Chains A and B, each alone.
Chain A
C-alpha cells in the first residue's frame, strides 16, 4: 500500500484517477481504517486529504457555510457561529460516535461511506446542502441526497473527490433539527432518524420546508410530500398528524436486530413530528 499526502485537490484527483489498483481517500479514517483492519478492503493506494489546502476549514461566504471535506466533526461543534446557525446539523455531528471518533470523523466521509443510518446525512439533506466535487473532467456539484447510490455505494466516479459540503445561506426565521432513535443514548447507530429544516413568515406560517428520513430505506430519503404537509400551516396538530402519517408511509425499512419494520415505520412519524416542533421553535415560531 502507498500512502500519499497531496497538498492540492488537483493532485489528489490525479493520484486517484491514475491509480490502477484499489484507491481510497483518507479523511478521518474512522470507517476506512476499520475496514482495512477487518480485511474487508486492501487498498493499493490511500490518499490522505487532510493536508490539502482549504479542506480543513469551515468557511463562511456570502452564499453560506462551506465545510471542508477533511473537517472533523469536533471542529464543527467548536464553531459557535455555525452551531447557532445550523443547530440540527451540529446535533447530527454531535451524535456520530464518541468524542474520540468525533475528533477524526468527517461529515463528508460519513456521506461517502453511504450507510443508510449515517447521522449527518438527513440533517444535511434537510438543510438543502450540496457537495462540491473535483474530478479529472472538472468540477461539479451534487445535492447531498444524490451522493449515496445504495447501501455502501456512492455516485462518485473514478478519480472524483468531494472537496466541501456547501450549505445554503441560512434564511431569516428558519430553523433545523435532527433527531434519531437509538436504544442507547450514546455510541449507537440510528434505528430511525429525521432531519427537518423549515422557514416561517411573520405570522408563524411555514413557507418552506425540507424533511429527510434516515435508516428506513437503502439511502436517506428526501420526502417532499411530508414538507408539503406542513407548508402553509402553523404546525397545528392536524399538520403534525399529516406529517407523521406521510413520513411513516414513505418508509421502506428492513427488519433487523435494531428494529422491526413496524417499529421503524411508527417511530419515523413520531420523530418527524418532534423534529418539526423543534425546528419550528428554533425558527422563532410559537
Chain B
C-alpha cells in the first residue's frame, strides 16, 4: 500500500506516491529527481542528506517520505536565486571549500540553517553547528572559512 503525499518543496507544490517505509531521501532522489541531497550513510551520521523541513535542519535519510503531507521542505536545489548563487555557494567555490563535493549540499544546508539562527557565529559555533556533517576531503578548515566569509557578506 503506497502513501499518497502532497507537500511543498522549494516553494512548489509537489505530489508523489511512495512506499510507507521509504525515506524522504530516496523519494527526493529516485522519485522527484532532486539528487542534490546525497546518501553518505543512510543512518543519520554524515549529514550529506541534510534538508530543512518546516524550518528545521534534518537528515532526509531519517525522515519517511510518507511523513511529508502538508510540510514545507527546502533542499539544495532551492538555494540559488535562478542563475545567481547564494553567497554560501559562491564562497564555497571561491574558497575551494570542496573537493569531491559529495558532502557539499549537506554542508550548505547546515550552514544556511546555522546562519539563519545566528548571523554572526564564532568559529567554534560554526564548528559545533556543522558537527553533524562529515567531509573526508577538505579537512574542514576551508569550509569554516567559506561560512565565515559568506556570513560576513550576508550581514552586509
Contacts and interface: CB of A to CB of B under 8 A. Distances in A.
A99 B63 contact: no
A99 B129 contact: yes
A30 B128 contact: no
A37 interface: yes
Contacts of B21: 1, 3, 36, 46
B128 A103 contact: no
Interface stretch (B28-36, B51-59, B76-84, B146-154): B51-59
B44 A30 contact: yes
A100 B50 contact: yes
Contacts of A28: 62
Contacts of A26: 64, 67
B63 A29 contact: yes
Contacts of B50: 100
Contact of B132 (A5, A48, A101): A101
Given A98-B131, A98-B132, A100-B50, A33 B56 contact: no
A136 interface: no
A60 B34 CA distance: 41
Interface in B97-134: 110, 113-114, 128-129, 131-133
B126 to A, nearest CB: 12
A83 interface: no
B47 A98 contact: yes
B37 to A, nearest CB: 12
B42 A1 contact: no
A33 B67 contact: no
Contact of B131 (A29, A37, A187): A187
Interface in A60-106: 72, 74, 97-101, 103-104
A19 interface: no
B4 to A, nearest CB: 11
A34 interface: yes
A104 B61 CA distance: 12
B64 A100 contact: no
A2 B62 contact: no
Interface string A253-274: 0000000000000000000000
Contacts of B3: 3
Interface in A99-152: 99-101, 103-104
Contacts of A97: 44, 132
A36 B110 CA distance: 25
Given A100-B59, A101-B59, A50 B67 contact: yes
A186 B43 CA distance: 17
B143 interface: no
Contact of A3 (B20, B129, B131): B20
B138 interface: no
A100 B44 contact: yes
B13 interface: no
Contact of B20 (A2, A33, A104, A186): A2
Given A1-B20, A3-B3, A3-B20, A34 B43 contact: yes
A187 B131 CA distance: 7
A33 B58 contact: no
A46 B20 contact: yes
Max chain A Cβ within 10 angstroms of own Cβ: one of B50, B61, B67, B110: B67
A28 B59 CA distance: 11
B64 A99 contact: no
Max chain B Cβ within 10 angstroms of own Cβ: one of A34, A37, A46, A99: A99
9 contacts: A34-B44, A48-B66, A48-B67, A97-B44, A98-B131, A99-B57, A101-B59, A101-B132, A104-B58
Given A33-B23, A104-B59, 17 more contacts: A2-B1, A3-B3, A3-B21, A29-B64, A33-B61, A33-B64, A46-B64, A98-B132, A99-B110, A99-B113, A100-B44, A100-B58, A100-B132, A101-B44, A103-B53, A104-B56, A187-B131
Interface of A: 1-3, 5, 26, 28-30, 33-34, 36-38, 46, 48, 50, 72, 74, 97-101, 103-104, 186-187
